[in-house]
Chain A
Amino acid sequence: DAGVTQSPTHLIKTRGQQVTLRCSPKSGHDTVSWYQQALGQGPQFIFQYYEEEERQRGNFPDRFSGHQFPNYSSELNVNALLLGDSALYLCASSLTGGQNTEAFFGQGTRLTVV
């Protein structure tokens, strides 16, 4: 059973560019959350997708947007990249409605903005 997979694993972009990160949830999961982990910090919640809609959002600007597809996979898009967007981006999947569920995390995408 494949867990949460993210692509690419590493990415280097230039300031002002746009980037798309991808996530495939664990089999059987229907909810995808995205987190940003800056160096030396804990992960910060960006947003969560369920039933192809953004259900919750953290304190991130509109430059950060996302999408969820019918197969539950998800994309995170960041426009007008800033140096401060350099971080490890983590995707987590879970099952909404289950009482004994947990979030499973992918390995992350390391984004470097130069």
Chain B
Amino acid sequence: AQSVTQLGSHVSVSEGALVLLRCNYSSSVPPYLFWYVQYPNQGLQLLLKYTTGATLVKGINGFEAEFKKSETSFHLTKPSAHMSDAAEYFCAVSEGIGFQKLVFGTGTRLLVSP
């Protein structure tokens, strides 16, 4: 069975600082990995995804993530945080894009201070 672990339920950064949100996964098959963002009272918006190919994936709003198979990790980073980045972030794993059954982590709330 697949699973996702997100280290840190809350991460606080100052505006302009580096953002690092951690995600480790477990999968018996080559995983497809996703990061979603959720703003208050909203649904989920896809930030980026890894399927195959290049292990460094760039997404929207300046976010990127690197798939490291040896570490079973898919950490999300952004060089410089903006106030508008404050939200809940979810890492998810899927056995394949075709079936789209996503297994989510418990989420990390990003707090950005001025």
- Count how many chain A residues have C-beta atoms less than 8 Å from C-beta atoms of the other chain: 31
B102 at the interface (CB under 8 A from A): yes
The main secondary structure of chain A at its interface with chain B is loop
B100 near A31 with CB under 8 A, answer yes
Residue of A42, A48, A58, A104 contacting most chain B CB atoms (<10 Å): A42
A102 near B46 with CB under 8 A, answer yes
B99 near A55 with CB under 8 A, answer yes
A97 at the interface (CB under 8 A from B): yes
A56 partner, pick from B42, B90, B101, beta carbons under 8 A:
B101
Within 8 A of A (CB), among B22-63: 34, 36, 41-46, 49, 51
B17 at the interface (CB under 8 A from A): no
A45 near B42 with CB under 8 A, answer no
A105 partner, pick from B4, B41, B43, beta carbons under 8 A:
B43
B100 partner, pick from A33, A43, A44, beta carbons under 8 A:
A33
A96 to B98, CA, bound (A): 5
Taking A42-B90, A42-B107, A43-B90 as contacts, is the C-beta distance between A102 and B97 under 8 angstroms?
A: yes
A98 near B99 with CB under 8 A, answer no
A107 near B43 with CB under 8 A, answer yes
User: Would you mind naming 30 contact pairs between A and B with Cβ atoms under 8 Å apart?
Assistant: A31-B100, A35-B102, A40-B106, A40-B107, A42-B90, A42-B105, A42-B106, A43-B102, A45-B101, A45-B102, A48-B99, A48-B100, A56-B99, A58-B101, A90-B43, A92-B102, A99-B97, A99-B98, A100-B51, A102-B34, A102-B49, A102-B100, A103-B102, A104-B46, A105-B43, A105-B44, A105-B45, A106-B43, A107-B41, A108-B42
Mark B residues whose CB is within 8 Å of A.
4, 34, 36, 41-46, 49, 51, 90, 92, 97-107
